[in-house]
Structure 1
Amino acid sequence: MLKIAVIGAGRIGKIHAANIATHPQATLVAVADPFINSANALADLYGAEAVSDPLELINDADVDAVIIATPTDTHVDLMLAAARQGKKVLCEKPVDLDLKRAADACRQLEEINAPVMVAFNRRFDPSASELQQAIASGDIGDLHQVVITSRDPDFAPMDYLRHSGGIFSDMVIHDFDMARWLLGEEPVEVYASASRLLKPELAEFNDYDTVMVQMTTASGRQCHINCSRRAVYGYDQRLEAFGSAGMLLNNNQRANSVRRYTAAATEVQAPLEAFFLERYEQAYRLEMDAFIQAALGKCAIPVTPFDGLMALKLAECAARSAASGRPVSVD
Structure 2
Amino acid sequence: MIEFALFGAGRIGKIHASNLVRQPGVRLKYVVDMHVPSAQALAQMHGAQLADVVQALGDPAVGAVVIASSTNTHADLIIAAANAGKAVFCEKPVDLTVARSRESAEAVRRNGVLCMIGFQRRFDPTFAALKARIERGEIGDPEMLIVTSRDPGAPPAEYIRSSGGIFRDMLIHDLDVFRWIMGDNAQTLHATGSCLTDSAVREAGDIDSTAVTIRTKNGLLCQINTSRRAAYGYDQRFEVLGSKGMLQAGNVRPTEVSAWSAGGISVDVPEPFFLERYRQAYAAEMAHFVEALTKGTPVRTTIEDGVRALELAELATLSWKKGMALELRSDGEIEAMTEA
Instruction: Tell me whether the two structures share a fold, i.e. TM-score over 0.5.
Output: yes
How far off is 1:267 after superposition? 2.1
Amino acid at match of 1:67: V
Name 2:266's counterpart in structure 1: 268
Listed one character per residue, the Cα deviations across residues 66-113 of structure 1 (whole Å, up to 9, x for unaligned) are: 000011111111111111111110011111111111122212322222
User: Which residue matches 1:156?
Assistant: 155
- Deviation of 1:286 after TM superposition, in Å, equals 0.4
Helix, strand or coil for the counterpart of 1:29?
strand
Residue aligning to 1:211: 210
> Residues of 2 paired with 1:138 and 1:55: CA distance?
50
Quick check: 1:46 aligned with 2:46? yes
Cα offset, 1:251, TM superposition: 0.4
Matched, 1:136 2:135: yes
More deviation in 127-136 or 275-284? Answer: 127-136
For 1:30 and 1:242, the matched residues in 2 are separated by 46
- The secondary structure found in structure 2 opposite 1:153 is coil
Q: How far apart are the structure 2 equivalents of 1:328 and 1:60?
A: 47
CA shift at 1:38, angstroms? 0.9
Aligned-partner Cα distance in 1 for 2:283–2:167: 26
Show the counterpart of 2:287.
289
C-alpha displacement of 1:4: 1.4
Residue 238 of structure 1: CA displacement? 0.2
Task: Give the Å deviation of 1:30.
Answer: 1.7
Tell me the SS of whatever aligns to 1:261: strand
Number of equivalenced pairs: 329
Q: What is the SS of the residue equivalent to 1:128?
A: helix
2:236 aligned counterpart, secondary structure: strand
Contact 2:23 2:290 in 1 (8 A): no
Query: Which secondary structure does the structure 1 equivalent of 2:140 belong to?
Result: coil
Q: Give, in whole Å, the separation in 1 of the partners of 2:117 and 2:19.
A: 17
User: What displacement does 1:196 show?
Assistant: 0.6
Alpha-carbon deviation of 1:268? 0.5
CA distance in 2, matches of 1:102, 1:200: 31
The CA deviation at 1:8 is 0.5
Q: 3-state SS of the aligned residue for 1:64?
A: strand
Q: Secondary structure at the match of 2:145?
A: strand
**Which range moved further: 25-34 or 227-236?**
25-34
Counterparts of 2:133 and 2:187 in 1: how far apart (Å)? Answer: 24
Q: Which residue of 2 aligns with 1:32?
A: 32
Q: Secondary structure at the match of 2:223?
A: strand
Q: Aligned to 1:327, which of 325, 328, 331?
A: 325
The residue aligned with 2:2 is 2
In the alignment, is the contact (CA less than 8 A) between 2:31 and 2:42 conserved in 1?
A: yes
CA distance in 2, matches of 1:292, 1:167: 31
Question: Of residues 238, 256, 278 in structure 1, which corresponds to 2:276?
Answer: 278
Deviation at 1:321, TM superposition (A): 1.0
Overall identity of the aligned pairs, in %: 43
2: CA distance, partners of 1:329 / 1:96:
23
1:314 corresponds to: 312
Aligned-pair distance for 1:296? 1.7
Amino acid at match of 2:217: A
1:195 matched to which residue of 2? 194
Amino acid at match of 2:40: N
- What corresponds to 2:185 in structure 1? 186
- What's the offset of the Cα at 1:218? 1.0
- Supply the distance in 1 between the matched residues of 2:18 and 2:229 (Cα, whole angstroms): 29
CA distance in 1 between partners of 2:318 and 2:136 (Å): 35
1:234-282: CA deviations, max 9, x gaps?
0000010110001101100111111112233x22111210111000000
Determine the C-alpha separation between the residues in 2 that align with 1:272 and 1:169. 24
* Matched residue SS, 2:60: coil
1:166 to 2:133 alignment = no
Mapped partners of 2:144, 2:99: distance in 1: 30
Per-residue deviation, 1:205: 3.9
Shift of 1:288: 0.1
Which residue identity does 1:14 align to in structure 2?
K
1:127 partner letter: T
Amino acid at match of 1:188: Q
When normalised by structure 2's length, the TM-score is 0.94
- Distance in 1, matches of 2:142 and 2:290, equals 32
Find out whether 1:107 has 2:106 as its counterpart. Answer: yes
- Deviation, 1:25, is 2.9
Q: Could you say which residue in structure 2 is the equivalent of 1:302?
A: 300
Q: Which residue of 2 aligns with 1:19?
A: 19
Match of 2:176 in 1: 177
